[in-house]
Amino acid sequence: MKRIGILTSGGDAPGMNACIRAAVRTALANDLVIVGIRRGYTGLIGADTIPLDRAAIRNTIHLGGTILETSRNPDFYTREGRLRAAAAIEWMDLDGVVLIGGEGTFHGASLLAADADTAPLIGVPGSIDNDVYGTDYCIGFDTAANCAVEAIDRIRDTARSHERLFFIEVMGRTAGFLALESGVAGGAEELVIPEEEASVARMSEHIREGFSIGKKSAIVVVAEGKTPGVSFQIARDIKKRLNVDSRVVVLGHLQRGGPPTLRDRVLGSALGVAAVEALLDGRSGCMVGEIRGDLACTPLEETWQKKKPLNETLRRIFAILSG
C-alpha cells in the first residue's frame, strides 16, 4: 500500500476535520501518500482530488464542517455512477479509500464493493444523528447535543419568565438519539422521538399535571422525524387541549456548525488513526467505530442494514426525571 484517498460524504459533522487530520498524519507516519477527494462521492466519480500534507491539515482540528467539502450524489445510487467511481479509483492509483459519513455513505460503499473489484474501503461514522450501527457514538453527535442543550437552557429562561410552553425541535430524521440525550440533559418535560408514537393526549395530560402542582413553564423536545417542522402541528394540537401560550423553536442546521467539542475531537482523532491502520492491516469493507470505549470494526453492510437501538436505560431515566 502506497497511496490512499479520504473523503467526507453526506451531512457535515463537527469533528470531521479532526478525523481528516489524524488520517493524514497517520498516513504520513507510515510513508503513505494521501490525497483528499473533494465533495464526497461527486468528487470520487470525477476524480477531483487535492494533495494532503502536514501544511494542508495544520490548524484544522478546531474547525467545524469539512475542509474537503461534501455532497449527496444521486448518481452514486446507480450502477453506472458506481462503475465510474471504481474507474476513477483505479485512475487515481489509490490502494485504499477512507470514507467519513453516515448510513447513506456506507450503503453506497457497500454497493460499490459489490459492483466492482475496487480498492479496500474503510468507513468512519460521522453523523450528528448518531444513528449508525456499529459505534456507540458518531463524530459530530456530542457537539450537536451540546448545541441543543445550550438552546434548551437559554429558552428555559424565557419560558420561565413568561410562563410559557416551548417546543424545541432538534434534528433526528429516523432516530431520537439527539432528542433523548439533550432532553435528559436539558431537563425537558416531554419528548417526541421517531421510535415512539406521539400521543398528544398523554403529553397534554402530563403537562397539565405539572402546571397543577405549581410549574410555570414546560419544555418539549421534538425530533424532526421525516417531516421537519412537525413541532408546529404538535404545538397547535396541545394548545387546543390546554389553552396555554406556547412557542416553537426549530434549531435546524445550527446543530451542525461550530467548533467540535473535546469529545468529538478525540473521537475523530482516534477513528482517523484507526481507519488508516485498518487499511495497513489489510482490512476492507468495514467501518471503524467505538463500542464501550474500545475500537471495533463492523462490516459496512451491517452499518445501514441493522437498526441502532436507543439506550433503554436513558429512556427509563427520562421517564423518571420528567415526572
Enzyme catalytic residues: 129
Q: At what angle do helices 16-29 and 262-280 cross, to 10 degrees?
A: 40
Helix (H, G, I), strand (E, B) or coil at 28: helix
Please tell me the distance from the alpha carbon of residue 163 to that of residue 156, in angstroms, as a whole number.
10
Q: How far from 96 is each of 22, 93, 107, 225, 280, CA to CA, in Å?
A: 16, 9, 17, 35, 9
Q: Could you tell me if 108 and 97 are in contact, meaning their C-beta atoms sit under 8 angstroms apart?
A: no
The residue type of 183 is G
Q: Could you tell me if 68 and 6 are in contact, meaning their C-beta atoms sit under 8 angstroms apart?
A: yes
Please tell me the distance from the alpha carbon of residue 86 to that of residue 10, in angstroms, as a whole number.
19
Q: Could you tell me if 217 and 165 are in contact, meaning their C-beta atoms sit under 8 angstroms apart?
A: yes
Please tell me the distance from the alpha carbon of residue 219 to that of residue 169, in angstroms, as a whole number.
11
Please tell me the distance from the alpha carbon of residue 214 to that of residue 321, in angstroms, as a whole number.
16
Which residues on adjacent β-strands are paired with residue 125?
101
Q: How far from 55 is each of 51, 88, 148, 307, CA to CA, in Å?
A: 10, 26, 34, 40
Question: Which phi and psi (to 5°) does residue 137 adopt?
Answer: -135, 140
Q: How far from 72 is each of 10, 69, 184, 221, 252, CA to CA, in Å?
A: 5, 11, 32, 28, 18
Q: Could you tell me if 236 and 244 are in contact, meaning their C-beta atoms sit under 8 angstroms apart?
A: no
C-alpha cell of residue 279: 487499511
